[in-house]
Chains A and B, each alone.
Chain A
Amino acid sequence: MGNLFIASLIDGLLIGFVYGIAAMGLSLIWGVMNVINLAHAPIMALAMFGVYLLFVSLNLNPYIALILIALIGLIGGVIIYYIAIHRVLSAPPLSTLLATYAVNMIMIGLGTAAFSTTPRNVNFTLGSIGSGDLTVQGTRLVAAIVATVVTGALYFFLYRTRPGKNIRAVANNRAAAELMGIPSSRVLALSFGLGTLLAAVAGGLIATFFPFTILAGNAYQLKSFVIVVLGGLGNPIGSLLGGLILGVMEGVIPIFMPNSWVPVLEFILFVIILLVRPTGLFGAKK
């Protein structure tokens, strides 16, 4: 029991890091421009396929592939922003939700046509550490490390660099940012690009240890909502901690009760946080 508990805890923590950066992508876009990106899930799934295709066809190391996919995610996000978001941003709030939902449907349709719904997996391993019950897969460990580095980099970018501060300024007061000479549309496009980059990195990392289909992102998108509410909007560290909490819940709960209880408890937590502390456990923003 003791070993099993520790093993589940470690498992949960490691996957929690990846949940964290998936949620960071959603949280960044939501926090900066008040848009809930429902295309988050297929972006993650397409990134999984991206890593898979580069691995299978070019025999590229998945982590090198991940860097390429992250860049494509950034550029793709900027393009999605200008095509689907920019013009509806000042329309009534639900318009952006519908716009991202449309992007979601298009991506899933194209993905299904191109890849069918047969599960794929990236046949890649980094071995494992430990023995017996206490075994940790190398790919999961690397994923956790990558996620931590990405969180740190994002934090540094947002709080220490000028383009990052521009993003925070536009999120905080868009009109004032424009008065200071910050072209807010470009900043919003960059923010959307960064949000999709984070989704792509999360998807690419997951592809190194779980099989997936074009619909695989949906589960992570739902978790991301819970995490964003837990961690507070627009706060990278909050998202990471929220991801870890959710990961641990997922690791540990199945020891005590059937697996199907996991989402029930997660969403009960979601509602409780919304009611009791709507700014999130680690958020300060109204």
Chain B
Amino acid sequence: MSILEARDITSGYGEVQVLWGSSLNLEEGKLTCLVGGNGVGKTTLLRTVMGQIHPWSGSIWFEGRDVSRLPAYTKADMGLIMVPEGRQLFTDMTVYDNLEMGATNPRARPKMKDNLERVYEMFPRLKERRDQNAGTLSGGEQQMLAVGRGIMADPKVLLIDELSLGLAPVLVLQLFENLKQLRDLKITILLVEQNVQMALAISDYGFVLAEGKVSLEGPSRQLAKNEHVRAAYLGL
């Protein structure tokens, strides 16, 4: 069953149209990836789904409800959570405060203790640095905190924008492992990645975005074998 669906979205910034009728849907409990080159509209699609920018046309459905015009904070309350590109932490606040802010929505608040334990277990570094300002963390730790903050929100669907960007390969591997753990906890995940090879390797299903439209979709294993994908994104 699809838990989140974007139907024929067009959107952009000011006069500039970025999305030209993109559709995608996430199956509940699956790890889905959205891949594609630089500037094809992956982030714009996520931001439109989240409500940070409004779709020009098309609609967005979450758990069978039309949420096209709802603001981001209402969607967060419903369980649709985004880990934004560039982490966007509260850099002047402590690691703990950042995690606490994650648990703002009424569903997450009563589970804050359990989720905090889960985050600290997944990222022990964050526990060590709980009283440090988020701005003083290394890039990798900041990404852990961004994901941790998302987990604190007790998401039904977690949208992650550019998880691996600028991180050391060892860390990327670890974070991808963490994503699988989250999927096993029944969290539906949409991962936006430039690292197409790794994204296809860990995900169940994939969408390929090109020039503001979904050009290809399918089970990740099949996409990884697709001639066009191999030539355009995997350099094979």
Proximity string of chain B (148-172) to chain A, C-beta cutoff 8 Å, 1 when within and 0 when not: 0100010000000000000000000
B93 in complex: contacting residue of A162, A168, A182, A284, CB < 8 Å? A168
Complex-state Cα separation, A178 to B93, whole angstroms: 16
The answer to whether the Cβ of B52 comes within 8 Å of any Cβ in the partner chain is yes
**Majority SS at the chain A contact face:** helix
Interface residues of A in 173-201 (CB under 8 A from B): 173, 175-184
B98 and chain A: residue at smallest CB distance: A169
- A180-B101 in contact (CB<8A): yes
Proximity string of chain A (147-182) to chain B, C-beta cutoff 8 Å, 1 when within and 0 when not: 000000000000000100110110111011111111
Residues of chain A lying within 8 A (CB to CB) of residue B100: 162, 165
Stretch at the interface among B17-25, B75-83, B186-194, B215-223: B75-83
Complex-state Cα separation, A169 to B105, whole angstroms: 14
B84 in complex: contacting residue of A165, A171, A175, A182, CB < 8 Å? A175
The answer to whether the Cβ of B90 comes within 8 Å of any Cβ in the partner chain is yes
Complex-state Cα separation, A69 to B194, whole angstroms: 57
Contact A182/B88 with A168-B93, A169-B93, A175-B52 known, Cβ cut-off 8 Å: no
- B101-A177 in contact (CB<8A): yes
Interface size in chain B (residues, C-beta < 8 A): 25
Contact A172/B104 with A179-B50, A179-B84, A181-B73 known, Cβ cut-off 8 Å: no
Residues of chain A lying within 8 A (CB to CB) of residue B81: 179-180
Complex-state Cα separation, A168 to B104, whole angstroms: 14
The answer to whether the Cβ of B28 comes within 8 Å of any Cβ in the partner chain is no
- A165-B101 in contact (CB<8A): yes
- B93-A180 in contact (CB<8A): no
Residues of chain B lying within 8 A (CB to CB) of residue A87: none
Interface size in chain A (residues, C-beta < 8 A): 20
A181 in complex: contacting residue of B90, B91, B105, CB < 8 Å? B105
Interface residues of B in 100-114 (CB under 8 A from A): 100-102, 104-105, 108
The answer to whether the Cβ of A285 comes within 8 Å of any Cβ in the partner chain is yes
Complex-state Cα separation, A176 to B150, whole angstroms: 11
Complex-state Cα separation, A183 to B108, whole angstroms: 16
The answer to whether the Cβ of B97 comes within 8 Å of any Cβ in the partner chain is yes
Complex-state Cα separation, A175 to B83, whole angstroms: 12
- A182-B92 in contact (CB<8A): no
Shortest beta-carbon distance from B156 to chain A in Å: 13
The answer to whether the Cβ of B6 comes within 8 Å of any Cβ in the partner chain is no
The answer to whether the Cβ of B71 comes within 8 Å of any Cβ in the partner chain is yes
Complex-state Cα separation, A284 to B81, whole angstroms: 31
- B97-A165 in contact (CB<8A): yes
The answer to whether the Cβ of B122 comes within 8 Å of any Cβ in the partner chain is no
B73 in complex: contacting residue of A171, A183, A284, CB < 8 Å? A183
Contact A181/B89 with A165-B100, A166-B104 known, Cβ cut-off 8 Å: no
The answer to whether the Cβ of B72 comes within 8 Å of any Cβ in the partner chain is yes
Complex-state Cα separation, A165 to B91, whole angstroms: 13
Q: Which among A166, A168, A173, A182 has the greatest number of chain B C-beta atoms within 10 A? A: A173
- A182-B104 in contact (CB<8A): yes
A173 in complex: contacting residue of B77, B88, B102, B108, CB < 8 Å? B88
Shortest beta-carbon distance from A182 to chain B in Å: 5
Interface residues of B in 172-220 (CB under 8 A from A): none
Would you give 13 A-B contacts (Cβ < 8 Å), ordered by A?
A162-B100, A169-B97, A171-B92, A173-B89, A176-B90, A178-B71, A179-B50, A180-B105, A181-B73, A181-B77, A181-B153, A183-B73, A284-B92
Nearest 6 CB-CB pairings of A with B: A181-B76, A181-B105, A176-B88, A181-B104, A172-B90, A178-B72
A-B contact sample (7 more), CB < 8 A, given A178-B72, A179-B72, A180-B81: A165-B93, A175-B52, A175-B72, A176-B88, A178-B71, A179-B52, A179-B73
